[in-house]
């Protein structure tokens, strides 16, 4: 059953396959990332699939893929920047 809140996009599919290929190219599995990040395998799987967010898993995956975090998850970076400036009272 699909997550009702998550609408898969072409970017999600592209990111998924990029990460799967990067792991495979390095002889790694999602469980290896889970051990590195000290999280469960299901968390890594859900982050790779785009259903959940975990900054430490995203950063580990971005390093493995050799791609900047902001390039793999651009919406999160934009949202975090907005939240930081909003909380700081910038632009208010």
pLDDT at residue 50 in the model: 87
3-state secondary structure labels for all residues of the chain:
CCCCCCCCCHHHHHHHHHHHHHHHHCCCCHHHHHHHHCCCHHHHHHHHHCCCCCHHHHHHHHHHHCCCHHHHCHHHHHHHHHHHHHHHCCCC
Q: Does residue 89 register a pLDDT over 70?
A: no
Please give the residue that has the higher pLDDT: either 46 or 78: 46
Look at residue 79 in the predicted model and tell me its pLDDT: 47
pTM for this predicted structure: 0.72
* Number of other CB atoms surrounding residue 43 within 10 Å: 19
7-60 pLDDT, tens digit each? 778 888 999 999 999 999 999 999 999 999 999 999 999 999 888 999 999 999
Domains and CATH numbers, the chain: 10-88 (1.10.260.40)
């Amino acid at each position: 059953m699909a997550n009702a809140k998550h609408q898969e996009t072409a970017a999600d599919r592209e990111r998924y396959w990029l990460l799967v290929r990067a792991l495979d190219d390095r002889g790694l599995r999602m469980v290896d990332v889970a051990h590195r990040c000290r999280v469960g395998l299901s968390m890594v799987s859900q982050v790779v699939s785009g259903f959940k967010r975990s900054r430490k898993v995203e950063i580990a995956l971005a390093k493995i893929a050799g791609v900047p975090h902001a390039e793999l998850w651009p919406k999160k970076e934009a949202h975090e920047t907005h939240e930081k400036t909003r909380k700081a009272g910038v632009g208010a």
